[in-house]
Amino acid sequence: MSQETKFNEETLATVNKIISRYPSDKSKSSLIPILHIAQAEFGGWLSPETMDYVASILKIKPVEVYEVASFYSMFNLKPVGKCLLEICRTSSCWVRGAEDVVRHIEKRLNIKEGETTPDGMFTLKTVECLGSCGSAPMMQVGASYHENLTLDKVDSLIDDYRSLGKQRSYTDLDYKNTL
């Protein structure tokens, strides 16, 4: 296990608080929330080292972590860009122009769906319904919902994220539409 795959004390305190929500012999219940934190802390994806580290915290077998991490679509098992642009494309978003948003971003960033820009800044991903149907089309970036998108709005969001230069992680975001 590499040196850097370790939570700092503050994060470890948060992790222990989450574990305490469950009966002492049911601490595996905290696996998903802890994987979210691990993903945010260790580069936006879950490497085998990261998953093994989480297994060691919960005293469970590594395979119990792998099988969960591979089931849920929010867990990235491969590296992604600093900003993961997730565009919803299911029915309500589709009828309100989600395809145009995807094509526009592909052209603007010169990447295809599923790819990352060469500078490692943006990854474009299409996703299924995020519960924003009444404010379609929409895009999720980190914990932020960006809704009622127009192509102009998409352009300025990309500019804003690029100038921010990093992804705000799940652990330091507390309200929507904060970059």
Partner 1 sequence: MGKKLLIQHVNVPNIHTLQVYKENGGYASVEKALKSMTPNDVVEEVKKSGLRGRGGAGFPTGMKWSFLAKPEGVDRHLVCNADESEPGTFKDRYLMEKIPHALIEGMITSSYALGAKSSYIYIRGEYFYVARILETAIEEAYAAGYLGQNILGTNYSLDLYVQVGAGAYICGEETALLESLEGKRGNPRIKPPFPAVAGLWGRPTVVNNVETIAAVCPIVMMGGDEYAKIGIGRSTGTKLISASGHINKPGTYEIELGLPVEEFIYSDEYCGGILNGKKLKAVVAGGSSVPILPAELILKNDKGEPRLMSYESLSEGGFATGTMLGSGGFIVYDETTSIVKNLYTFARFYHHESCGQCSPCREGTGWMEKILHRIIEGHGKPSDIDLLWDIQRKIEGNTICPLGDAAAWPVASAIRHFRAEFEEYIKNPQGIKDVKHYYNVHQLA
Q: Which residues bind partner 1 (CB under 8 A)?
A: 21, 23, 26, 28-33, 35-36, 58, 64, 67-68, 71-75, 89-92, 94-96, 127-136, 140, 143-145, 170, 173-176
Least Å from the CB of residue 29 to partner 1 = 5
Would you tell me how many other CB atoms lie within 10 Å of the CB of residue 16? Answer: 13
- Angle at which helix 31-41 crosses helix 9-19, to 10 degrees, equals 160
Q: Which residues pair with 144 in a beta bridge?
A: 141
Q: Taking a C-beta distance cutoff of 8 angstroms, is the pair 82, 121 a contact?
A: yes
Grouping H, G, I as helix, E, B as strand and the rest as coil, residue 170 is helix
Residue with smaller CB distance to partner 1, 110 or 148: 148
CA 161 – CA 61 distance, rounded (Å): 38
Distance, in Å, from the CA atom of 96 to the CA atom of 85, rounded to the nearest integer, reads 18
- What is the nearest approach in angstroms of partner 1 to the Cβ of residue 171? 10
Amino acid letter at 117? Answer: T
Q: Shortest approach of partner 1 to residue 62 CB, angstroms?
A: 14
**Choice between 45 and 145, CB closer to partner 1:** 145
Q: How far is the CB of 150 from partner 1 (least distance, A)?
A: 15
Nearer Cβ to partner 1 (103/176): 176
Q: Please identify, using beta-carbon distances, which residue of 8 and 24 lies nearer to partner 1.
A: 24
